[in-house]
Chain A
Amino acid sequence: MIIKLTGGVVYDPANNVNGKVLDIYINNNKIVSGKDVTQVDQEIDLRGKVVMAGAIDMHTHVGGGKNNIARILLPEDHRSDPVAATELTRSGTGRALPSSYVTGYRYAEMGYTSVFEPAVLPVNARQAHMEMGDIPILDKGGYVLMGSDDYFLQMMAAKKDQQAINDYVAWTLHAAKGIGVKVVNPGGINAFKFNQRQLDLDENNQFYNVTPRDILSVLATAVKELGISHPLHVHGCNLGVPGNKDTTLSTIEGVGGLPMHLTHIQFHSYGVEGDFKFSSGAAEIAEAINKNKNITVDVGQVMFGQTVTASGDSMKQHANHKHASPNKWVCMDIECDAGCGLVPFKYRDQNFVNALQWAIGLETFLLVEDPWRIFLTTDHPNGAPFTSYPHLIRLLMDRSFRNDMLKTIHPEAQKMTTLGTIDREYSLQEIAIMTRAGAAKLVGLENRGHLGVGAWADITVYTADDNREKMFQTPDYVFKDGELVVRDGEIVHIKWGTTHIVTPEFDSGIEKDLAKYFNRHMTMKLGNFKISNDEITEDGRNTLTVQPTKRGVL
């Protein structure tokens, strides 16, 4: 079946198309050249409409144990947003951490077609994939969380060579079915189990005598040498701690040019100036990002309202529990692998710190110059639920709206931010880079995030509107793999996406030592730990897609 999308104004940065009127042809699930089309089965008139690839959220907590704990923790939040079943869709609940079906529907209704879970604990990966297996429409994938597991830290302490680390990283990616590697408070989740409450970049994990800097360097090297497209995904030290900008700057400068993605950078960009000993470090951080081309970031924008923070960073989440609102929280140590912490938060515009966090996020967006190296996230649900993205896009694209909002926040926070002096407004092309082309490139997705010939037909069509929030809230059409799934912001058809993984080569000889370790110290056998392909595909609706590694071109 050939569908012709006629006359839309296309923003396709990967192919250098910036607001050009073009026809797009879909043959089954891919975009094809008009020259190869002899007969059109369906034509959709898109004259005057804005056309982009389907959006990709490269960092959103949508699957895994901590999410489910957060769900069970907050029944009152779900009660405020019940979602009824329809002829086509399943029921569920929404808000801060929606149920899996509702997650899929609401992302698709906003024009998103792919989501990536950034904290897949290998021991919890089975659950993460099962949850994501119940997210309809979207493609998904996960970054495996490493760096605080005891096997890895033993390797570090024993000064195993880089090749051995590479093999272990690759083995973990296979076993847990990931597309990238994440590190959270490097070594710190582990240190917390030994009652260490603080771990700066050059401090030792006191048990293993290994520093976060060592861990970052070894893991970033492993990712590079294995040819994994997605750079090491780093949740750095000192999350949320005033003054942590210095740690972040040192992290950026100190990895010797290795590719590294610093996630939810907003939470790591704090100074200690002013009466409240809390200030914005966004300008310095942005300058460092601009200068160091090996660095990419996503923002983790804070929005005002109730949410829940869900993180693998048990050390820092425990330290933050006094801010829990409502006052209930969970921390867990997990299987000599990692940990997690769940702390509900209510960000208030009249709270100085929260208001400044909001401003710091926006400063970061506006001061980082290259949209290919910064990504639009709220670190869902940590800064805000993903459903706030259209509002965030309006803040970035509309200076007068932004300044109106700025006038409503805590007056001392207004004084402490340069936001009001920043004139920049994001263009549609820049939004398309951040949320499509750049994200696909960063995650390492072949033929996603663009609209050229050969691309998978993930396409979102909007009606241009000066109110960008309204525009991005309800697309006219969303196609997933060439099938129309959303019309006028509502689900019209259910299909199932694929799970993206990478499978870099490794020496399977490492399983000998690993099996011993599992027998002696773990609570599962090695063979039972590894996730087989059929676990993901046997339901008949989910598939696996292996993305290429760059090993050959190194």
Chain B
Amino acid sequence: MATKTEVPSPFCGIGTDDLVINVDGLSINVLANGCAINTPAFEQAIGDIAPRVKGKEVTLEAAVKKAAELLASSNQTLIGGCATDVNGMRALVSLADHNGAVVDNIAFNASRRNILALQDSGWMNTTLAEVKNRCDLLVVIGTDLEKVSPRFFEQFIWNESPMFLEDSTQRKVVYLGKEPSGQAGVSPVGAQVKVLPCADEDLPELVAVLRALIKGRDILHYEIDGIAITDLKALAEQLKQAAYGVVAWSASELDFSHAELTVQVICELVKDLNEQTRCSGLPLGGCEGDQTANQVSAWLTGYPARVSFAKGFPEYDPFLYEAQLLLENAEVDVLLWVHDFNTQALPPSDVIPLIVVGRSGMHFEKEPDVFIPVGTPGIDHRGHAFRMDGVVAIRLQKLRESGLPSTAEVLTLIDQAL
């Protein structure tokens, strides 16, 4: 039995690294600083250790051989999930390069909302330590922040002694869109969150109006989608007066058609504010390897993690290479599913030949042709993961001796067997 401190997490996206964890054999308990995301993810029990081919336990070598056979005979492979650490992603891209596969990260439809805005007009963003020390106004758009990131307020808003504010309780928090599901945004001295509630589908209009107000345009309405124009004007004014405003959103929460346009307007209104004062965007995410997939893919291919190698070189199309569409249109004939973090993140069932390289403990409705249970980076082996801000990579630790191979090891073996 051993207690480990300062353990970093690949699950929550904010790079929490103050976890205190007890390891007893294969069992893990989060003793301190856990949250609704990290605690269950760390404590998830190990399931199968042995690989299976068509439901029958086999050696790793046999499973690798079978996987390589399926991939070699495939006309077009799809690698889905793509939720792993840096080395896992390196091995995955190498395999895709040799096999001519399509690579698609499981969270790409959400990431795409940010990436399309970035690729069309760019942004001015910040990172967590700047929020922690500089932010005097936090505006949360369309996102239930404490659900997406349970410890965000505790760690970065109500922290003791921010460097450039006398007191963190001076900070103001405003929500536009979804109402917060809990009390995390209420300040330690009881200051309530200001909420301008609206339905997701009203956000495009409201965000556009907010930008217009920031730019000093007249709006000839008293009310937009149930929100008084005076409230929106007050928010615009607050943003202009803030010394270091931060506008946060989670792309996964902006789950409506063409949300990328709303993200773009958010990014543009932040740019507008920077003509006079300072303000930054803060796109949340980074959970379960989504930033890792995009970052590694970017340096290996030039593109984020929705890339086809079918022509022998990487091609990026944020729509064409969507896994679900490729499967529905029968454009692929083998699916290799990779997910190190979440036993619930299962591949689409009843598809074509299926190889799963997944976190030990996955249960399938339909048994895959090949299942190779792997360890989780940060628990079963060391590794690296990128945080939501895309700048900070964290060093993941090995907490226990499970004997489970890493995704990087398994994919490299398959790559070599091809």
Contact = CB atoms under 8 A, between A and B. Distances in A.
B174 interface: no
Interface string A168-209: 000000000000000000000000111100000000000100
The CB with the most chain A CB atoms within 10 A, among B14, B86, B115, B301, is that of B301
A97 B120 CA distance: 18
Contact of A126 (B118, B121, B314, B393): B393
Contacts of A150: 133, 163
Interface stretch (B75-83, B190-198, B272-280): B272-280
Interface string B367-389: 00000000000000010101000
A130 interface: yes
Contacts of A334: 126-127, 130, 391
Given A73-B118, A92-B301, A130-B86, A523 B94 contact: no
A430 B234 CA distance: 64
A99 B395 contact: no
Contacts of A192: 278
Interface string A326-368: 0111111111110000100000000000000000000000000
A370 interface: no
A328 B390 contact: no
B312 interface: yes
B127 A72 contact: no
Contacts of B395: 126, 528, 531-532, 535
B18 A332 contact: no
A105 B203 CA distance: 47
A189 to B, nearest CB: 12
Interface in A74-109: 74-75, 78-79, 82-85, 90-93, 97-101
Interface stretch (B22-30, B154-162, B357-365): B154-162
Interface residues of B, number: 67
Given A71-B302, A78-B316, A328 B125 contact: no
The CB with the most chain A CB atoms within 10 A, among B8, B390, B395, is that of B395
A159 B295 CA distance: 40
B118 A332 contact: no
A330 to B, nearest CB: 5
B17 A524 contact: yes
A539 B87 contact: yes
B340 interface: no
B315 interface: yes
A488 interface: no
Contact of B384 (A65, A97, A130): A130
Contacts of A333: 125-127, 130, 134, 280
A441 B124 CA distance: 39
Given A72-B303, A93-B301, A528-B394, A523 B8 contact: no
Q: Binding site of A, secondary structure by majority: helix, strand, loop or mixed? A: mixed
B289 interface: no
B299 A71 contact: yes
B91 to A, nearest CB: 11
Nearest to B14: A523
Interface in B300-338: 300-304, 309, 311-316
B302 A336 contact: no
B6 interface: yes
A395 interface: no
Contacts of A83: 313
Interface string A120-137: 010110110011001000
B312 A134 contact: no
Contacts of B382: 538
A92 B129 contact: no
A528 B8 CA distance: 8
Interface in A260-276: none
A84 B315 CA distance: 11
B313 A84 contact: yes
Contact of B130 (A73, A331, A335, A539): A335
A222 B186 CA distance: 46
A520 interface: yes
B144 interface: no
Given A75-B303, A123-B391, A131-B299, A521 B133 contact: yes
B175 interface: no
B392 A524 contact: yes
Nearest to B87: A539
Nearest to A97: B302
Contacts of A525: 6, 17-18
Contacts of A332: 124-127, 280, 391
A318 interface: yes
B295 A127 contact: yes
B302 A99 contact: yes
A221 interface: no
A257 interface: no
A389 B47 CA distance: 56
Contacts of A65: 390-391
Contact of A99 (B14, B244, B301): B301
Interface string B271-303: 000100110100000000000001100111111
A68 interface: yes
Given A127-B393, A336-B163, A68 B299 contact: yes
B128 to A, nearest CB: 4
B325 to A, nearest CB: 19
B134 A193 contact: yes
B58 interface: no
The CB with the most chain A CB atoms within 10 A, among B120, B274, B391, is that of B391
B303 A335 contact: no
Contacts of B6: 525, 527-528
B302 A124 contact: no
A510 interface: no
A92 B15 contact: no
B257 interface: no
B54 interface: no
B181 interface: no
Interface string B116-146: 0011111111111110111000000000000
A27 interface: no
Given A92-B314, A93-B313, A123-B392, A85 B98 contact: yes
A249 interface: no
B97 interface: yes
Interface of A: 65, 67-69, 71-75, 78-79, 82-85, 90-93, 97-101, 121, 123-124, 126-127, 130-131, 134, 150, 192-195, 207, 318, 324, 327-337, 342, 520-525, 527-528, 531-532, 535, 538-539
The 9 closest A-B pairs by CB, nearest first: A93-B302, A78-B302, A82-B313, A328-B122, A335-B129, A84-B312, A126-B393, A84-B313, A329-B122
Given A65-B391, A69-B118, A331-B125, 18 more contacts: A72-B304, A84-B312, A90-B300, A91-B97, A93-B314, A98-B302, A101-B300, A127-B391, A207-B164, A328-B120, A334-B126, A521-B132, A521-B163, A523-B14, A523-B156, A524-B392, A525-B18, A527-B6
21 contacts: A68-B390, A73-B122, A75-B119, A78-B301, A85-B97, A98-B302, A124-B391, A124-B393, A126-B384, A150-B163, A193-B278, A328-B122, A335-B129, A335-B130, A336-B130, A342-B122, A520-B160, A523-B127, A524-B17, A528-B8, A532-B395
